[in-house]
Structure 1
Amino acid sequence: MNSFEMDQLLADENGYLKKLHKIVKETIRAEELIIHNLVNPPLEILTQGQKLSDKVARFGGSWQFISWFGILLTLWIIFNVLAIGTYKFDPYPFILMNLILSCIAALQAPIIMMSQNRQEEKDRMRSENDYLINLKAEMQIRSLNKKIDILLEDQIKTLFETQEKQFILLQQINEKLENHQLKV
């Protein structure tokens, strides 16, 4: 094997390595794009009603709400039990308090449901996003496998060509040795 053929083999090997590095860089770049989109999701534009329903749902489903509401009801009952005469605005069985509680529940329930429906929509969109990311990752893995297979095929082809050249060189060396032995 002469130096030109050796240089050619080394150049081919460098070419394969450069192709492999290019594939890896492209894959990393695509992965960084996905990560950027996950870290910086598109901004959600909310109407005033949606913002209000979120605040009501957040407060209505908190221990702070339960505590304040319990304190208010306790004060209401104590005042109406202990108050004298005209100061009793809701005597026992506290019909006004029951009416107010029913109204609060009737208004609070649909507001919380609106907030939950929007949260469900967000969850659905996140699930779709996760599915698309998984699909894209699967496609990239398949693409990388194909590219690696192509590179391996090229390397195997080069290896066989190199072996063939080496075999020819060995035959030439063998012939020279046989000729040399015949002369001696």
Structure 2
Amino acid sequence: MADRVPSVAELAAELLGRIGDECSPAERSVLESLASGHHSHVHTGLDTPSFGERLADRVARVGGSWGFIISFTLVLLGWMLLNTDVLNHWGLVFDPYPFIFLNLMLSTLAAIQAPIIMMSQNRQSHKDRQDASVDFETNIRAELSIAQLHQKVDLLLDKADVEPDGRRG
């Protein structure tokens, strides 16, 4: 006798204890694949990042590193030292104290770097949400598969007339 494949509504009631309309989209997707008998693997569907996205990721990775912070601090200290002591001897100071040109460059860098880093963070957040969704769907699949196996074991135990603790009934 061939086993009848249960419907999505039957699986929802049997395995989740709810009607099909109460299921989340991820649960419904898993139930549909179980009902069809097709156990597909979940794919993230992430696209290949564009040049701008790769650049934003790189800027965020470099700009948020200790190497960048230390080297940038050294450049700033060098700039200030150069414009106060070294070039002052020859009268060649091009950005005297209070370093207005340096402030302009720092403001420009911050104005450009902040949105680029935010683009990278938004992209990473999107990837994290997709990964969490895939993990959730995988967990639902595992839970439903375990529930199905549990039902099959219970059915076998009933057919063999064996109690759940292993004693014959």
TM over 0.5: yes
Tell me which residue corresponds to 2:62: 59
**1:89 is aligned to 2:94:** yes
| Greater RCO (Cα-Cα under 8 Å, separation 6 or more) | 1
Counterparts of 1:108 and 1:136, CA distance in 2: 42
Counterparts of 1:141 and 1:52, CA distance in 2: 44
SS of the residue corresponding to residue 89 of structure 1 reads: coil
SS of the residue corresponding to residue 157 of structure 2 reads: helix
- Taking only the aligned residue pairs, the percentage that are identical comes to 45
Instruction: Summarize the alignment of residues 16-35 of structure 1 with structure 2, pairs less than 5 Å apart.
Output: none
Counterparts of 2:49 and 2:140, CA distance in 1: 30
Matched residue pairs, number?
122
Instruction: Summarize the alignment of residues 162-173 of structure 1 with structure 2, pairs less than 5 Å apart.
Output: none
Q: Which protein has the bigger helix share?
A: 1
Offset of 1:44 from its aligned partner? Answer: 4.4
**1:46 is aligned to 2:65:** no
Counterparts of 1:86 and 1:133, CA distance in 2: 70
Tell me which residue corresponds to 2:129: 124
Instruction: Summarize the alignment of residues 74-85 of structure 1 with structure 2, pairs less than 5 Å apart.
Output: 74-82=77-85, 83-84=87-88
Residue deviations 1:7-51 (CA, integer Å, cap 9, x gap): xxxxxxxxxxxxxxxxxxxxxxxxxx86xx79xx76640100001
**1:145 is aligned to 2:140:** no
User: Structure 2: which amino acid aligns with 1:56?
Assistant: V
Q: Which runs of 4+ in 1 moved over 6 A?
A: none
User: Structure 1: which amino acid aligns with 2:138?
Assistant: I
Counterparts of 1:86 and 1:106, CA distance in 2: 32
SS of the residue corresponding to residue 87 of structure 1 reads: coil
CA RMSD, 1 decimal: 2.3
Counterparts of 2:91 and 2:124, CA distance in 1: 48
Offset of 1:80 from its aligned partner? Answer: 0.6
Which deviates more from structure 2 when the two are superposed, residues 82-91 or residues 140-149? Answer: 82-91
Structure 2 segments unaligned to the other structure (5+ residues): 1-39, 163-167
